Structure 1
Amino acid sequence: MTRIALATASADLEARFRAATGGAFLPLPPAPLPSNPAHLFAQLDGAPAPDVVVLDAELAVDHALDLATLLDEQCPQIAVVLVAEHGPDLGLAAMRAGVRDILHPQAEIAEIQSVLDRAALAAQALAHTVAPASSDAPPATGRVISVLSPKGGVGKTTVATNLAVGLARTAPNSTVLVDLDAQFGDVATALDLAPEFTLADVVHGSAARDSMVLKTFLTLHETGLHVICGPPSPAAADTITSEDVSQLLQMLSLEFRYVVVDTAPGLSEHTLAALDRTTDHVLLTSMDVPGVRGLRKELDTLAELGMLTPARHVVVNFADKRGGLSVADVEATIGTKVDLRLPVSPATRVATNKGVPLLQSGGRDPVTKQLRRLVERLTIPETVTAQPDPDSRPPRHGRRRGR
């Protein structure tokens, strides 16, 4: 059955649509047309994404054409019908916007049925064109890279945002960054973003079940990186469950080559849910005794839960020989080798305050060079996998807590 959504403030037009479809359509709230597809989907009240969207453009033709253009770009499997009086230039403008048909505002029921039938056929054809060819093989999944630290204040978000920007440069439009610190995440600040939708929005409603809808809720960074920022209020974290996180990462891994997850400090339920989907760990510590001991405890806990993957990368931030610890001391304490050292550098603080990651602005300072090496470890197959520690348990699929 074709799913139809009608955006109109006209009660008369809605009544004729009801008669033409037998009530089998979803009327959107009688308000001005949404400004973008995400706003349109947010009005669906959790219903699946429509196959056909009808936009009443009688009072705002340019606005409707702009929305149709965005739908054609972001949701190419949706057929858009425009309700407007035919003008000399409207046909060409509508065609350029990807509109499939134009319906007169006073169209009779029979004409409405005819237009909707044509739009339904177009939607079916578009779905077959956009959908990947069927195969007996399971769908390919992207890599889920979780950036972890037992403590806060060690530069985890700095590493996560730079890693995501670097991966986005190697795979344009194929990288997404998720701020999973649902209470106090600051990915938006680190990237100088003002997101319209956040983590709390994408795990509920239609976005939680339809990857096409989900993509319209993502915030696009100027580097081509897609971002899901943390909620604006810590209270919103209570509305996000571990099941929500697991479902979100599964959907993203089917759509993106790289899914970078900036986790909250420690091992919260959200972080453990992410680890169930994680393919690569980036384990971060500062070069001090509390941080190093915390990382050892985290490694032991993850090994006990069977959540350590062979592909893991240990990063020491704020590395400074004058602090009384050497890399050898760190390795002896955590029981595995250190893969990268990020030195103390004023450039990091400046980049954070500007909201411009080092790998976005470029540069040749030691920190930027080490961050590039981290990106290379995640993109070059030969260097991405570390050998498991002899004393650690073999990784198992899924959590084993309390089982």
Structure 2
Amino acid sequence: MSRFVLITPNADFDGRLRQAVAGGLQGGVQTFFTNVVPAGPYDLLAQLNQEQPEVLILGPDLPIEDALRLATVLDVQVPNLMVLLASEPDPALILPAMRAGVRDVLSPSAEPNQLRVLLERACQSFANRHRGDQQGSVENQKGAVIGVFSPKGGVGKTTVATNLAIGLGQLAPMSVVLVDLDLQFGDVASGLYLNPETTVTDAVSPAASQDTLVLKTFLTVHPAGIYALCAPASPVEADFITPEQITRLLEQLADEFQYVVVDTAPGLPEVGLAAMEMCTDLVWVSGMDIPSVRGLRSGMEVLKQLDILPEGRHVVLNMADPKCGLTVQDIESTIGVPVDVSVPRSRTVTLSTNRGTPVLLDAKKDPAAKGLSQLVERVSSNSRANGPRSSHRRVLV
């Protein structure tokens, strides 16, 4: 069985791809030297003796429309297959490619070492999906829904949510969607420097709720390889979005993505509570000040009384400063649970937020980035798709 299948008339690209595989990847490459795209998965599998590869590379020098049409069909009928597109980098191509289910876009001139990195990433995504299938239940096949919550505003909740989504996207490219459920004043679009044409309002429309393929066309693509579903352009639109619509939306997204990150509004609005009922993990964000710590304690108590606390819990102390008059022990004593991740105060985070470039993309060596990376690792290892949840560990500031 060939682990990688390439369809292209370009012999030079085939040579570099084979060098990439020979340089450290297991499995073989089967190449079809043609510019004719198979009509569908059955035509493709017939040429492969009904054996399914892990990664299919389309192009270069294939008709783009035909390649995207095949990718769309494969995304529905053979969802475990990782489809890559080799084409000249064009911003106008990225969105239709991701909507078609393409997992990555490769430069036709990429060197073997660059191709190897992208192939390794695709193989890892294949392994993650295959492992989910082997778990044998519909529930386990669903993606993790991770809510980022704080009763108080101004604690950096959206900064945590955007960086968490970016970090998970680096682990699972094109398998992460960030949903902004601060429906009146959400900042995900500005935090990612996006100008979305569609928003949550479109995503909960009857057409989208009945057809996931329609829903995916309303997602906005970020260059880092994640999707975003941004808040409505007008706060007035929030009044027309119901908790039932949000429940259905998150159900659909969890069926399609490995990770669904939800940036909730401050407080406990009905839409936020509906989202929390869908969450497999909840990231609690607190600043290092008495009002936000007390607010977090109250929020935890309310959710406990409502019996909608998800199993996965990750307490993040954001903008941590040992000179502020509080200690981690003070905070833990107040909220009654351990602090899991500490993100130190950093000017770099403020600058990255103002530029719309998450710190995990822009300044990975910054101390705050290290704390955010720890959160990404913790959430990914604790998600239901990756096995048992780890225990809480005390952090020091």
**Pairwise same-fold verdict (TM > 0.5):** yes
Contact 2:180–2:262 (CA under 8 A) maintained in structure 1: yes
After TM superposition, the score normalised by the length of structure 1 is 0.63
User: Which amino acid is 1:138 matched to?
Assistant: V
Counterpart of 2:115 in structure 1 is: none
Counterpart of 2:327 in structure 1 is: 326
Equivalents in 1 of 2:280, 2:330: separation in Å?
A: 28
The structure with the largest alpha-carbon Rg is: 1
Counterpart of 1:338 in structure 2 is: 339
Shift of 1:137: 4.1
- The CA deviation string for residues 38-57 of structure 1, in whole angstroms up to 9 with x for no partner, is xxxxxxxxxxxxxxxxxxxx
Equivalents in 2 of 1:199, 1:330: separation in Å?
A: 35
- The CA deviation string for residues 109-167 of structure 1, in whole angstroms up to 9 with x for no partner, is xxxxxxxxxxxxxxxxxxxxxxx99x984261110000000011110000000000000
- The CA deviation string for residues 176-201 of structure 1, in whole angstroms up to 9 with x for no partner, is 10000110001000000111110000
Contact 1:75–1:212 (CA under 8 A) maintained in structure 2: no
User: Which amino acid is 2:351 matched to?
Assistant: V
Contact 2:152–2:267 (CA under 8 A) maintained in structure 1: yes
Does the residue aligned with 2:138 lie in a helix, a strand or coil? coil
- The CA deviation string for residues 18-61 of structure 1, in whole angstroms up to 9 with x for no partner, is xxxxxxxxxxxxxxxxxxxxxxxxxxxxxxxxxxxxxxxxxxxx
Counterpart of 1:266 in structure 2 is: 267
In the alignment, structure 1 residue 218 sits paired with structure 2 residue 216:
no
Contact 1:74–1:216 (CA under 8 A) maintained in structure 2: no
Equivalents in 2 of 1:384, 1:319: separation in Å?
A: 25
Counterpart of 1:198 in structure 2 is: 199
Counterpart of 1:59 in structure 2 is: none
Counterpart of 1:287 in structure 2 is: 288
Counterpart of 1:138 in structure 2 is: 138
Equivalents in 1 of 2:324, 2:136: separation in Å?
A: 56
Shift of 1:322: 1.5
Contact 2:221–2:228 (CA under 8 A) maintained in structure 1: yes
Does the residue aligned with 1:323 lie in a helix, a strand or coil? coil
Contact 2:158–2:188 (CA under 8 A) maintained in structure 1: yes
Q: How does 1:24-43 map to 2 (within 5 A)?
A: none
Counterpart of 1:182 in structure 2 is: 183
Equivalents in 2 of 1:235, 1:149: separation in Å?
A: 23
Counterpart of 1:232 in structure 2 is: 233
Describe the shift of the 1:68–1:184 C-alpha distance in structure 2 as closer, same or farther (beyond 3 A).
farther
Q: How many residues align?
A: 272
Counterpart of 1:247 in structure 2 is: 248
Counterpart of 1:17 in structure 2 is: none
Counterpart of 1:61 in structure 2 is: none
Shift of 1:76: 5.4
Q: How does 1:335-374 map to 2 (within 5 A)?
A: 335-374=336-375
Contact 2:208–2:214 (CA under 8 A) maintained in structure 1: yes
Counterpart of 1:155 in structure 2 is: 156
* Structure 1: gaps spanning 5 or more residues: 1-64, 79-96, 98-131, 388-403
In terms of mean alpha carbon deviation, does 313-322 or 155-164 score higher? 313-322
Contact 2:276–2:310 (CA under 8 A) maintained in structure 1: no
Equivalents in 1 of 2:157, 2:391: separation in Å?
A: 21
Shift of 1:69: 6.2
Contact 2:147–2:275 (CA under 8 A) maintained in structure 1: yes
Shift of 1:237: 0.3
Equivalents in 2 of 1:156, 1:383: separation in Å?
A: 26
Contact 1:312–1:385 (CA under 8 A) maintained in structure 2: no
Does the residue aligned with 1:281 lie in a helix, a strand or coil? strand
Describe the shift of the 1:156–1:383 C-alpha distance in structure 2 as closer, same or farther (beyond 3 A).
farther
Shift of 1:206: 1.3
Contact 1:310–1:385 (CA under 8 A) maintained in structure 2: no
Equivalents in 2 of 1:192, 1:75: separation in Å?
A: 31
Describe the shift of the 1:379–1:311 C-alpha distance in structure 2 as closer, same or farther (beyond 3 A).
same
Counterpart of 2:312 in structure 1 is: 311
Describe the shift of the 1:75–1:242 C-alpha distance in structure 2 as closer, same or farther (beyond 3 A).
farther
- The CA deviation string for residues 300-359 of structure 1, in whole angstroms up to 9 with x for no partner, is 111111111231000111111211111110000000110111111100110001100011
Equivalents in 2 of 1:309, 1:247: separation in Å?
A: 18
Equivalents in 2 of 1:141, 1:77: separation in Å?
A: 16
Shift of 1:72: 4.7
Q: How does 1:154-173 map to 2 (within 5 A)?
A: 154-173=155-174
Describe the shift of the 1:67–1:245 C-alpha distance in structure 2 as closer, same or farther (beyond 3 A).
farther
Structure 1 vs Structure 2 CA RMSD:
2.6
- The CA deviation string for residues 270-298 of structure 1, in whole angstroms up to 9 with x for no partner, is 11000110000100011001000000000
Describe the shift of the 1:327–1:67 C-alpha distance in structure 2 as closer, same or farther (beyond 3 A).
same
Describe the shift of the 1:74–1:217 C-alpha distance in structure 2 as closer, same or farther (beyond 3 A).
farther
Equivalents in 2 of 1:75, 1:241: separation in Å?
A: 32
Counterpart of 2:298 in structure 1 is: 297
Equivalents in 1 of 2:243, 2:390: separation in Å?
A: 27
Does the residue aligned with 2:373 lie in a helix, a strand or coil? helix
Contact 2:312–2:389 (CA under 8 A) maintained in structure 1: yes
After TM superposition, the score normalised by the length of structure 2 is 0.64
Counterpart of 1:88 in structure 2 is: none
Does the residue aligned with 1:262 lie in a helix, a strand or coil? strand
Contact 1:284–1:316 (CA under 8 A) maintained in structure 2: yes
Equivalents in 1 of 2:252, 2:364: separation in Å?
A: 35
Does the residue aligned with 2:182 lie in a helix, a strand or coil? coil
